[in-house]
Chain A
Amino acid sequence: MLWSSFLLAIKGIRRNLMRSFLTILGIVIGVAAVITMVTLGNGATQAVKDQVSSLGSNLLMIRPGTRMRGPRGDGTPDFKLDDVKAIREQISRLAAVAPQVNKSETVVAMANNWSTSVTGSNNDFFTAGSWSIAEGRKFTDAEETAGQAVCVIGSTIRRELFGTSEVLGENIRVKNFSCQIIGVLKSKGTSNMGQDNDDIVLMPISTVQRRIAGNRDVSGILVSVENESDITRVQTQLTQLMRERRHLTDKEDDNFNILDTRMIAETLSGTTQVMTMLLSAVASVSLLVGGIGIMNIMLVSVTERTREIGIRLAIGALEKEVLLQFLIEAVVLAGLGGIIGIILATITSIILSQVMGVPYTFNVMINLVSFIFSAGIGVLFGFVPARKAARLNPIDALRHE
């Protein structure tokens, strides 16, 4: 009976190709939309986490400005190199203390020019920022103290200015001086926020201060802690030290702020999680729309199917045989739609996550949930009207209008 019902179900599907196709389509769209969106959302969250951890772990960033009014623009003083020195001397167990000055400049080489961010720092910057050198070397002490015109460039700069040719020892022009390239940074790639990490020119801080900024300000300090468990201690000590050095009385608020990369990570991934939820909501709507589509097709065909059921009953089919046939038909269609949906979603997710530069992971849960949901709708709306019809007197089923 199972086999003959199966055969009848397949015949039924073939006989109603358009209806079957539309049912499958509804399920495919629902399943594929949900899986793709959630997968991409999760990928984006993952990418942000990766991104932040690539910033460097156990990292604290000190910036001038009160937390409330934003980083700058409120007249709070910048740091000086003495602050960096004080931190290094007075706080223990630090892996790196890197001062930072950033300036947007156009750099020129081989008749190409490129707008980028020139960062002045010291060799601790490599540790703090988890950078490694692909070619060449870091700065020497002499270069740092003397503020010589040397630089380490990111791979984007190299590509944009020099293409594939040799760069070590070449010069790039920044403003009115020439700067020798002594190293190339290993690529970190594009962050999922669309920011190119490799679009960077690194120089000793004194070079940037003297030749570009024209002052002795330090716009931020990166502090890398040896052990993650020390972060809270270091943060407290840093706050205390900076308050002393900036002569703040007990009544005054901090006029600087200390950011913890873990906190940034949490904030950012929180944001992308909200985005994922939003995407999921949109996807759920498409799932629902797909479901309503299936309902529609099923309900529109109810009359025809009821009459067909009437014919089968009149000819001597048992209620359970008819039910089994329609159940199999619904399950086959829903299952087929679900599987095609999953395949489609997987392909689209892989392609889109490549394009968007986010990692792809196969999420079993969401595949399962969306499959069950749409397949459930398909089975429900395929089967319930059939069951209703199969319970009628054959003549009432035949007369159905």
Chain B
Amino acid sequence: MSALIELSNVTKTFGHGQASFQALRGVDLQVEEGDFIAIMGPSGSGKSTAMNIIGCLDVPTSGEYLFQGAHVELLDRNQRALLRRHYLGFVFQGFNLLARTSAKENIELPLLYRGESAAVRHKMSTAALEQVGLTGWGHHTSGELSGGQQQRVAIARAIVTNPTLLLADEPTGNLDTTRSHEIMQLLRSLNEDKGITVLMVTHEPDMAEYAKRSIEFVDGKVESDTKNPALDRTGITTKSKDDQIDQTGVIQGDFNAME
């Protein structure tokens, strides 16, 4: 069992009784170490909900979630916090930077909880700022940064610890095309050079093409799971719609065979 994470029949229901809403209706998903996955799907299909559960920010209503073979659903709050601290990096859909706090301090926050010294924190945060193209912006507070800059600070904060698994919920949602591609290049190099497993939600097919694998959510379920052609993903690949459908079929077939 070499899978980094493994979800089986994970459901998530919000609310109780009449007002309850099932956001995830039985998600099965395996992510191998070193994979780079793009999650797509219509708004409200449960992408963020699934990311939050994988990121240990929320707990599933039912189902199993294994992280490196360990049952996450059985862990207590503190164990989940330590899992987040040591293995995960999370880029939120809404940035979630600390208000009135400098970019540098925001980025150093996870290092602080890891107990890194001030010198190490400084070195790593400077490197992370450079990676997201914000060298020299460290002392600006969140309020002084544009939406795109804030997003890049959020990315820097998620990658500064070199996490095992990087979860990014629409990391390019607020960026222009050029910047978006830069961020994708960054994610890819983190994936390829540092072996960080990346799970990314995106609405843009262009961005999804950087990933090795695309997953589509519909109505709280994994609708399709496609291996992207192993092209030289240096730029924008051209790929016909038919190919995709074809591959979807193959993967779906695999899933069916497994059941």
Which residue numbers of A lie inside 8 Å of B, CB to CB?
4, 8, 11, 15-16, 304, 307-308, 310-321, 393-396, 398
Contact = CB atoms under 8 A, between A and B. Distances in A.
Contact of A16 (B81, B90, B100): B100
Contacts, number: 69
Interface string B57-99: 1110000000000000000011001101110101010001111
Given A15-B101, A308-B98, A395-B52, A315 B58 contact: no
Given A321-B113, A398-B92, A316 B82 contact: yes
Interface stretch (B104-112, B170-178, B210-218): B104-112
Interface of B: 52, 55, 57-59, 77-78, 81-82, 84-86, 88, 90, 92, 96-101, 105, 109-110, 112-115, 157
Return the 5 tightest CB-CB contacts between A and B, nearest first: A316-B85, A395-B57, A395-B58, A394-B57, A316-B84
A196 to B, nearest CB: 59
Contacts of A393: 57-59
A396 B98 CA distance: 16
A18 B95 CA distance: 25
B99 A312 contact: no
A313 to B, nearest CB: 7
B115 A316 contact: no
A319 B101 CA distance: 21
B116 to A, nearest CB: 10
Contacts of B112: 4, 8
B142 to A, nearest CB: 11
Contacts of B78: 318-320
Given A316-B110, A317-B81, A394-B57, 5 more contacts: A11-B101, A15-B98, A311-B97, A318-B113, A319-B77
A179 B127 CA distance: 99
A310 B94 CA distance: 13
Contact of B110 (A15, A308, A315, A394): A315
Contact of B96 (A311, A316, A320, A321): A311
A308 B106 CA distance: 11
A204 to B, nearest CB: 82
Contacts of B77: 319
